[in-house]
């Protein structure tokens, strides 16, 4: 059977790995810790956002300045949330963090479809955030024409341009995913175990 | 240690002794860089060990192991694709590509293996999964159980795989 590709494929000599049960347990604990840390960072960013909004309400009564302060802090909180929630799918080995144990044993086509759907939905949500960000930037830039506050115009322009650029980047990423999903649809529905 | 943990550890040892090499081949088919390949293999082992807690024997251990390996690997390539814009091909597209150069004879094992690995890595994950399982010697019913497709659909894809392989490799026709 030496002329058989399947035999050639299966006869490959690959450096195997041996992971002891103790090491697997340790890795699982580390993974759990990383997940909890991510969740906590999200909660802290959310609380920080609320605190800043409250301070803003109590101490700043000048409307344009209040708007600038609120939007800047909210923008920073969004960056923190995005960095920590998006890194697992974009960073090295981070994808393992987003895998939930029950879903890993689902049939492959269904699993792959779910991963693509979740990626597409997160991109769509990101697109909405970018629209809001550029709209906020435009409002800030417009406010700067009748209120003289340092940093108001550059912040507005930064938010507006940044939002537009990221919106364009995200928009380009969605059609290939849609096309992949449509290919999967044509393959037929996945059946449960 | 609970009975459940002992059972899981036992199943994991059984899975690794029976399918350890297959897990390595799956990682190789999804990742070209040796370091990342090793990382992916470790992730597969971890996911497999964690998942076996829920294994109730409703499918065979082989089906379960291949599902975990393919799913973790698919998730890995989706994450990688976000960083590097690579374009994957479907089996239909590969079938329609003009032949470049002479087909490789399977007598030249290393060259055939390199070409085969490149071909697998260029495929879309769904097609890649079917081709890999086919190369692992599984029949259409077993492949269907792993990927969650009707055997009829799998047979159509397998037919395409055979056409592609026979065009690119001399004597590369595989057994059913």
* Distance separating alpha carbons of residues A46 and A78, to the nearest angstrom: 9
Domains of chain B and any CATH numbers = 3-83 (1.10.1740.10), 91-170 (1.10.10)
CA–CA gap between residue B127 and residue B121 (Å, rounded) = 10
Q: What is the pTM of this model?
A: 0.79
Which residues, 6 or more positions from A179, have their beta carbon under 8 angstroms from its beta carbon?
Answer: none
Verify whether the Cβ–Cβ distance A2 to B175 is below 8 Å. no
Strands, E assignment, chain A = none
Instruction: Give residue-wise pLDDT tens across range A63-107.
Output: 666 666 676 777 777 766 666 655 544 444 566 666 766 777 889
Cα distance from A72 to chain B (closest Cα, Å)? 28
B148 touches chain A (CB under 8 A): yes
Q: Which residues are registered as beta bridge partners of B169?
A: B104
Q: Cβ atoms within 10 A of the Cβ of B106, count?
A: 22
B111 contacts: CB under 8 Å, gap ≥ 6? B104
Is pLDDT at B132 greater than 90 in this prediction? yes
ipTM, two decimals, is 0.84
Can you give the pLDDT at residue B138? 92
Write the residue in A24, A94, A109 that is nearest to B79 by C-beta.
A94
Q: How far is A187 from chain B (nearest CA, A)?
A: 7
Domain boundaries, chain A: 23-95, 106-193
Q: Which residue of B15, B81, B136, B147 is the best one to mutate when testing the A interface, meaning the one whose CB has the most A CBs within 10 A?
A: B147
Q: Which of A109-123, A173-187, B62-76, B161-175 has the lowest mean pLDDT?
A: B161-175
């Amino acid at each position: 059977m030496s002329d058989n590709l399947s035999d050639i494929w299966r006869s490959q000599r690959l450096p195997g790995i041996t992971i002891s049960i103790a090491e697997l347990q340790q890795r699982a604990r580390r993974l759990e810790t990383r997940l909890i840390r991510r969740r906590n960072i999200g909660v802290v960013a959310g609380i920080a956002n609320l605190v800043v909004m409250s301070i803003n309400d109590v101490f700043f009564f000048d409307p344009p300045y209040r708007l600038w302060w609120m939007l800047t802090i909210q923008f920073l909180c969004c960056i923190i949330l995005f960095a920590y929630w998006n890194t697992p799918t974009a960073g090295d080995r981070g994808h393992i963090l987003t895998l939930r144990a029950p879903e890993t044993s689902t049939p492959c086509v269904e699993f792959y479809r779910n991963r693509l759907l979740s990626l597409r939905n997160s991109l769509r949500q990101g697109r909405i955030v970018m629209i809001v960000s550029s709209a906020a930037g435009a409002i800030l830039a417009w406010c700067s024409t009748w209120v003289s506050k340092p940093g108001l115009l550059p912040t507005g322009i930064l938010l507006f341009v940044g939002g537009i650029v990221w919106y364009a980047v995200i928009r380009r990423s969605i059609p290939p995913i849609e096309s992949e999903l449509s290919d999967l649809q044509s393959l037929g529905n996945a059946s449960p175990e | 240690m609970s009975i459940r943990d002992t059972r899981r550890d036992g199943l994991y040892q059984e899975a690794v002794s029976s399918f350890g090499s297959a897990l390595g081949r799956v990682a190789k088919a999804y990742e070209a860089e040796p370091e990342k390949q090793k990382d992916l293999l470790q992730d597969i082992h971890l996911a497999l060990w964690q998942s076996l807690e829920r294994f109730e024997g409703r499918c065979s251990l082989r089906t379960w192991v291949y599902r975990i390996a393919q799913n973790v690997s698919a998730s890995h390539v989706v994450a990688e694709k976000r960083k590097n814009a690579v374009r994957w091909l479907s089996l239909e597209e590969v079938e329609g590509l003009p032949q470049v150069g002479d087909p490789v004879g399977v007598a030249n094992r290393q060259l055939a293996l390199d070409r085969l690995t490149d071909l697998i890595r260029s495929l879309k994950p769904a097609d890649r999964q079917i081709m890999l399982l086919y190369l692992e010697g599984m029949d259409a019913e077993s492949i269907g159980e792993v990927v969650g497709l009707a055997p009829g659909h799998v047979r159509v894809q397998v037919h395409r795989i055979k056409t592609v392989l026979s065009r690119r490799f001399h004597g590369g026709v595989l057994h059913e």
